[in-house]
Amino acid sequence: MEGTRIRIHTPKTLGELGQLYQKKPKAILYAGGTYLLSHYNEINPFTGDIISLERIDEMRRLNRTERYFEIGATVPIPFILNTGSSYLPKCLVNCLQQIGPIAIQSQATLGGNLCVKTMHCDSLAVLLALGARLELRKGRQSRWIHLSQLIDSEGQLDFKEGEFLVRIRFPLEEWDKQSFIKLGQPYQLERREYVLCNLIKVDKNVIMDIRLALTQGTHKSIRIRNLEAQLKGKKVPLGTKDIKILEQETAIALDFPTNTSSGDLRRIHQIYKNLFRQLQD
């Protein structure tokens, strides 16, 4: 960035941030900075304006009601874990605990993790599975939107120009089975292909709810809704015939080549097979 003068802005309220970012929509929003500092050279175009989010108290709050949990976009991950790990969903706790080495994790925020544009970071699959909603703000206006609705056809979060994330909200529900799995090299996001989050709720031997979310590298981020729909309402244990059909459906839903040589794809297929088999026991 030779020759570019850096201007750091430190708004203290959401109102100030809204106005500033609307005027300078190409500015870089800086939360924990752990992703930004490690990808500094790739930021393009870099206009020289950096907006630090750290002084805005409204974005650094956690809130819990009987029905939902809210996490401000700039709450540091260790604070979320220390304050909420006894009642947060296990899949989210597992996900946050595995973000980066400790030096990175201590600075990182959940909002920053979700808003990385060039790749899908780990929390996206979990928040998709949990049915998270996001509060976004542009200027003085804010709107709530389901995370799944914010994802465009390329699998990217579709913020409007000058819009930013204020907080993340998800319902507090009991899940009987929760899993969070990431495949790839630890701490080498670029080489990680897949993150999976599966949630299952069973009551009186009937699958009441099931969420199967998966993100892949830079583009795919989905809930596998046709599989979810097939499983919802089914009695457990599942029959052998059911399992066979589900396995075939999984391959179709995930667009697997039938004789794939990719180790990750085979592992993913196996993960779903194991999940269905658990519902057979």
Ligand X SMILES: Cc1cc2nc3c(=O)[nH]c(=O)nc-3n(C[C@H](O)[C@H](O)[C@H](O)COP(=O)(O)OP(=O)(O)OC[C@H]3O[C@@H](n4cnc5c(N)ncnc54)[C@H](O)[C@@H]3O)c2cc1C
Positions that interact with ligand X (CB under 6 A): 28-36, 38, 53, 73, 99-100, 104, 107-109, 111-113, 115-117, 121-122, 164-165, 187, 189
**Least separation, in Å, of the C-beta of 185 and ligand X?**
10
**Hey, what's the torsion of the CAs at 178, 132, 13, 28, to 10 degrees?**
90
Nearest CB to ligand X, comparing residues 77 and 207: 77
Q: Which helix (H) or strand (E) holds 267?
A: helix 263-278
Contact assessment for residue 151 and residue 65, using Cβ atoms and an 8 Å cutoff: no
In this complex, which beta carbon is closest to ligand X, that of residue 20 or of residue 207? 20
Please answer whether residues 56 and 12 qualify as being in contact, where contact means their C-beta atoms are separated by less than 8 angstroms. Answer: yes
Nearer to ligand X, 113 or 250 (CB): 113
Strand, helix or coil for residue 170: strand
- For the bound state, the minimum distance from the C-beta of residue 243 to ligand X, rounded and expressed in Å, comes to 32
Whether 183 contacts 129, CB under 8 Å: no
Give alpha helix (H) positions in 108-186.
110-115, 123-129, 147-150
Kind and range of the H or E element at 172?
none
Strand 68-72, strand 163-171: pairing: antiparallel
Residue number with CB closer to ligand X (84 or 100): 100
Helix/strand/coil percentages in the chain, nearest 5: 35, 25, 40
Residue 224, classed as helix, strand or coil, is coil
| Nearest distance from C-beta of residue 207 to ligand X, angstroms | 30
Give 31 or 231: the residue with its C-beta nearer to ligand X. 31
Q: Which is nearer to ligand X, 123 or 178 (CB)?
A: 123
Cβ 32 to ligand X shortest distance, Å:
3
User: In angstroms, what is the minimal distance from the CB of 230 to ligand X?
Assistant: 30
With a CB cutoff of 8 Å and minimum separation 6, the contacts of 37 are none
Least distance from C-beta 164 to ligand X, angstroms?
Answer: 4
